[in-house]
Each structure stands twice: as structure tokens, then as C-alpha cells.
Structure 1
Amino acid sequence: MLIQQAIEEADGTGGSQLRNMGPIYKAKKAEADRAQSELDETIAAITPQLDANNLAIATIQTQMTDELSAIERTPYDGMAARIEALDRLSAKSAAISMAHLFILLLFIIIESAPVLVKLISFRSPYDFVLHKHEHEFEMYHKEKTALLANATHAKVTYDTEISSAQVRARIKEERAKIESDLKNRIEGFGESRT
């Protein structure tokens, strides 16, 4: 910019509008030369620091690339990966941890709300109908169980009585047979003595 002003002063297009290399030109040229030398000195002073910074950036980028390639790649990418990512984010950020906690509590409340409402509310007509139905089923079950128990008891009693009658009939037959054999022996013994 300063060198441009000096050139415009020399060709007469700027400043004094006189075409010559007079004192204004020399002053502007000296100012431009001084600014250029300051710029060169500043560049020379910061070049080593700039080179060191560039080297540090390159080293850090190489280190970062090495660390990224060394990270163990997990084979899962579904729900497990999302949970793992949420755990990492929650460990690093308190806000995410709190959001995670509140979302968890929200889901717990939503899932348990029907049970809580049922426990808090009064008995509804549905509850009365359900109780009636359950009572009818219980009575039906008791009736069928009692009928089955009675039928089983009657069958056992019948079988016992039949078995007892059969045993008595066999005993009677055996007794009649024994008495008949005894009578025959007695008659046979009486005939053989005569």
C-alpha cells in the first residue's frame, strides 16, 4: 500500500498531482522501505516459531492418526453400540448424564403409570364384572370338583360293596362245598362201617 502511494506520487496520479520524484515521493518511498524492512524482520523473527508450530501440528496429527488407527474397532453397530456411546458421552458430560437419567425416569414412569392408576383408582364396573365372573368360575370349579369327588366316592363304595358281596358269595359257596364234602364223607364213613 505504501509503495503504491510512492509510485502514484512519482507518476503524478496521487498526492500532490505533480509528476516528479520530489521530497514527497522520497518521504513515501522511505516510509514504504521502512515498513518493508520491519515486515522482513518480523517474518525472520517468527519463521522459526512458525516452523516449530507447523512441526508440532504435524506431530500431533500423526499421533492422532496413529491413535485413531489403534482404537479397537468394535464389531457391533446396533443397540449395544448406542448404549456404549451413551455411556461414554455420559461419562464425559454431566448434562448428557442428567438427560440420560431423566429420560430413564420418564420411561419408568410411563411404563408403571397403568399399574399406579389401577392401584389408586376406585373399583370400576369392569372390576365388579370381573369379580362376578371369577366367582362364577370358582363356584363352577367347586361344583365340578364336588361332583367328581362324589362320583369317585360312589364308585369306590360300589366297588367295595360288590367286592364284599362277591367275597361273601364265594365264602358261602366254599362253605356249602365244604359242608357238602363233609356230609359226603360222613355218609361215606357211615356206610363203610356198616
Structure 2
Amino acid sequence: MKKINKFFWWCAGANIEILEECPTDHSKYFGVGGTIVFTALMASFAGGYAFFTAFKSVIPSLFFGAFWGLLIFNLDRYIVSTIGKGDGTQKITKEEWKIAAPRLLMAILLGFVISTPLELKIFETEIQTVVERLKIDKAVELQNRDTTFVSNLNNSKDRRTSIDNDINKLTYDKTSLSENAGKFFENSIAEQKVDLKNKQSVVEVWQRKVNSSYSSYVNAKNDSLSNSIINKRLGALRVNQSERNKAREEVQSIQDKIEDLNNNKGNAIIDEKNRINDLLASKQQEKTNLNEQIASKQKTLDKKNVGYENKTENYDGFAAHLEALSILTSEKPAIFWAKWLITLLFIFIEVAPVLFKLMAESGPYDDMMDRLKHESFVKEKQKISDINDSINTSIKISTEKNQNRLDAEIVGNKALLNKIALAQAEIAGLAIEKWKEEEIKKLNAGVNHIINHNGELKI
């Protein structure tokens, strides 16, 4: 039990040797240390679960959980051990709030970080249901990206269905032709006569237009209208004549077909069968080509869908669970409030030791720690003062030595300067005497050149 107490005291950042001398403070720091330890354990569970959710591996998750727990433990211990004891009263002052603000913010952040993985575990069943729904939504979303490809495939299938209908109709016509040859001729001639009647009506319409345009053209010529009007009406007449002639040719063609049907009934059946067979062969070939295209496209689409399914099947990591939790909280208010209560609980657990130390009254342990800190502070200040005195003394001695050396140099320099001055004066005197003598010699040597025999000055 004693070892456990010491361990929890150490976790609370207390000085164990001093705390042992203060029995009244044992439980306080035991509680702080216990909070830190159990918070670290919960963080370890949360980190390990989060890592397992992301990587689906047990052994690495255990190592990461242990690492995460130690990291949170170290941060909590640092926060509590550096917060101090406040002002020693149960009231938290504004100044204490300012000092504790960074550590409180850090504790709140840790509360969010620790609570989130545990919330994922608590609501795991509900979250997994939403994750499965998200997988389906993601698969549909990926498949919808191939809209053009799927549209082309569906168009090919629709075209194949249309060809099947055409083949069925042609097959039916071929069978009906063999079974009801007489009726076939009657129907064929009836169809041609209907076409003939329609074309004859068209011819009549164009003939009326020709007559009208011809009358207009003749009137223009008779009335001597301008050439442009005459040419315009002539052009309209020719256009109408051309369209009328085309309609007449179509009428003649239909009449020829009717006559041919009446004269060559046997050949007409054979020709119709050949026509149907040619159409059937063409449709069958087109269907074969379409089947190959559809099979190829369907195979490609199936591969894509399998790839999408594999991708969405792996959508079961940490981020997917977070997204599912977000959806759950938005859809179900009960889960929303439960999630926030859990988060607030962990935030309270994180900030509780900090607030507890700020609100705790000063005890014997705090007084002894203050005394030790003060003693250490005074000793260090004394050491600094002694060092400063030693340095100042050394500086003073060095200064005095330098001053004495300077004074000696000044005295020596004065004597030297005096000697130099005397020497310079003596040298100057000798130089003057020497100059004087030389000048006198010059004067004596050149006196007869200065005055001539007439007593005049000679220059």
C-alpha cells in the first residue's frame, strides 16, 4: 500500500520525501495522482481502439494504446505539476484563471481526444449499422459516375429489343406469306392502290399550282410587267412543273407495281420472301454484333462494380465511424445528448485536478515547499551576490593595477620629455653659433667686392 501511495504521489507531481512528513496532505495528492493514472488508462483504451478501428491489427493496437496512454499520462502530470497551488484559498481569482487558462485549454482538448474513440466503442452497434448504409451509398455514388457508360449499355440493350421485335415481325410476315399467298397479293395490291390514290392527289395539287402559276406568268407577259417579275413567275412555274412531274413518275411507278403484281404473282411471292430473308439476315447479323458489344460492356461494368464493392467494403475505418457517429447524432437527439454528456464527463475528469489544485487550501506540504523554494531562492541569490562581489573585487584590483602602471608611465614620460627638450635647446644653440660663424666668414671674404675704389656700393 505504501508503494501505491508513493506511486500516486509521484503521478501527482509531488515531492515524496516532503509529502511523507505531511500526513494531512496524503489523501489530497493520492486523489490527484489516481485521477491522472485512471485518465491515462482510459486514454490507452481509447487510443488502442482507435488504432484497431483504422488498421484492424491487434498487436500494433496494443503498442499504440500503451504509447498513447503514456503520452496522455505525461501531459496530465505536466499540467498538474506546473499549475502550482494558487493563492492557498478555495476561491479561484481572476489572476489564477489567467495563469491556468493554457493548461485548462490543454486539458479540455485532451478530454475531446480521449472521449471520441470511447464514444465510438460505446455506440459501436448503431455506428456499424450506419456504416453499412454508407457503404451502399458510396457504391451507388461510384456507380453513378459511369452514367454515360451505363447509358450506352442500356441503349444497346434497347436496340437489341427493337431488333428482336423486327425479327419476330419479319418471321411472322414470312410465315403468313407462305400460308396466305392470295391474301398477301390482295393486301399488297390494296396497299399499292392506297399509295396510288395518295400520289394522284398529290399530282392534282401540283397540277393546280402549275395552272395557277402558268396563268400568273401569262398575265405578267400580257400586262407587260417588268422582266424581274416575269422571270420570278416563270421560275415558280418551272418549280411547280418539276414537282408535278416527280409526282407523276411516282404514280406511274405504283401503277407499274400493281400491273407487275397482277401479271407475276409467283415471282412476286418469291421476291417478297427473298426480301424478308435478306432483312432477317441483316437483323440477325446486327443482333449478333450487338450481343458481342453488350457482353463486352457488361463484363467491363461488372468488373467496375466489383472494384466499387471492394472499395466500399473497406470503408470501415476510423473516419467512416466518425462520419457514422456524426450522422447518428444528427438523426437521433438521444445519442446526441449522450455523446455530449460523455465528452463533458471526460473534460471534467481532465480539468478536475487543475481546478482542485487551484481551489485547495494551503496545507503543511505547500508551506514546506514554499520554505524550500524560498531557501533555494535565497541561497541562489546569495551565490549570485558572492559571485558579483568576487567579480567586482577582481575588477577593482585590476583597475588599481592599471592606474599605477599608467601613473608610472606618465612620470617616466615627463622625465623623458624634459631630456628631449634640453637636448633640442642645446642642439638649437649649437646650430645658431655654427650659422653665425659661417655668416661672418662669408662677410669677411667678400668685403672687397662690396665697396669699389670710388667708395660706391657695388652690387
TM bracket (short chain): 0.5 to 0.7
Choose from 116, 137, 140 the match for 1:70.
140
Give the CA deviation at 1:83. 2.9
Instruction: Go from structure 1 to structure 2 and tell me whether the alpha carbon gap of 1:182 and 1:128 turns closer, same or farther (over 3 Å shift).
Output: same
Instruction: Go from structure 1 to structure 2 and tell me whether the alpha carbon gap of 1:75 and 1:151 turns closer, same or farther (over 3 Å shift).
Output: farther
Matched letter for residue 70 of structure 1: V
Instruction: Go from structure 1 to structure 2 and tell me whether the alpha carbon gap of 1:81 and 1:160 turns closer, same or farther (over 3 Å shift).
Output: farther
For the 8 Å contact 2:328–2:336, the answer to whether it is kept is yes
For the 8 Å contact 2:329–2:335, the answer to whether it is kept is yes
SS of the equivalent of 1:122 reads: coil
Q: Distance in 1 between matches of 2:418 and 2:391?
A: 40
Q: Distance in 1 between matches of 2:405 and 2:321?
A: 81
The reply on whether 1:122 has 2:361 as its aligned counterpart is: yes
Give the CA deviation at 1:99. 0.5
Instruction: Go from structure 1 to structure 2 and tell me whether the alpha carbon gap of 1:76 and 1:177 turns closer, same or farther (over 3 Å shift).
Output: farther
Match of 2:248 in 1: none
The reply on whether 1:100 has 2:339 as its aligned counterpart is: yes
After superposition, residues 31-110 of structure 1 pair within 5 angstroms as 67-71=137-141, 77-78=317-318, 80-110=319-349
The reply on whether 1:152 has 2:385 as its aligned counterpart is: no
Match of 2:372 in 1: 133
Instruction: Go from structure 1 to structure 2 and tell me whether the alpha carbon gap of 1:141 and 1:76 turns closer, same or farther (over 3 Å shift).
Output: farther
Q: Distance in 2 between matches of 1:69 and 1:127?
A: 63
Q: Distance in 2 between matches of 1:76 and 1:177?
A: 100
Q: Distance in 1 between matches of 2:361 and 2:135?
A: 65
Structure 1 unaligned segments of length 5 or more: list them: 1-63
Q: Distance in 1 between matches of 2:391 and 2:325?
A: 66
After superposition, residues 173-192 of structure 1 pair within 5 angstroms as 173-185=412-424
Matched letter for residue 322 of structure 2: I
The reply on whether 1:165 has 2:414 as its aligned counterpart is: no
Matched letter for residue 155 of structure 1: S
Give the CA deviation at 1:184. 4.5
Q: Distance in 2 between matches of 1:142 and 1:65?
A: 69
Give the CA deviation at 1:101. 0.7
Bigger relative CO (Cα 8 Å, ≥ 6 apart): 2
Q: Distance in 2 between matches of 1:65 and 1:191?
A: 122
Instruction: Go from structure 1 to structure 2 and tell me whether the alpha carbon gap of 1:87 and 1:144 turns closer, same or farther (over 3 Å shift).
Output: same
Matched letter for residue 130 of structure 1: M
Matched letter for residue 137 of structure 1: S
Matched letter for residue 338 of structure 2: A
TM-score by length of 2: 0.25
Q: Distance in 2 between matches of 1:76 and 1:160?
A: 80
Give the CA deviation at 1:174. 0.8
TM-score by length of 1: 0.55
Cα shift readout 1:119-174 (whole Å, capped 9, x = no counterpart) = 22221222112111211121122112212222222232222222222211111111
Cα shift readout 1:24-81 (whole Å, capped 9, x = no counterpart) = xxxxxxxxxxxxxxxxxxxxxxxxxxxxxxxxxxxxxxxx997451347587823x44
Instruction: Go from structure 1 to structure 2 and tell me whether the alpha carbon gap of 1:115 and 1:65 turns closer, same or farther (over 3 Å shift).
Output: closer
SS of the equivalent of 1:123 reads: coil
SS of the equivalent of 1:91 reads: helix
> CA RMSD of the aligned region, Å?
3.1
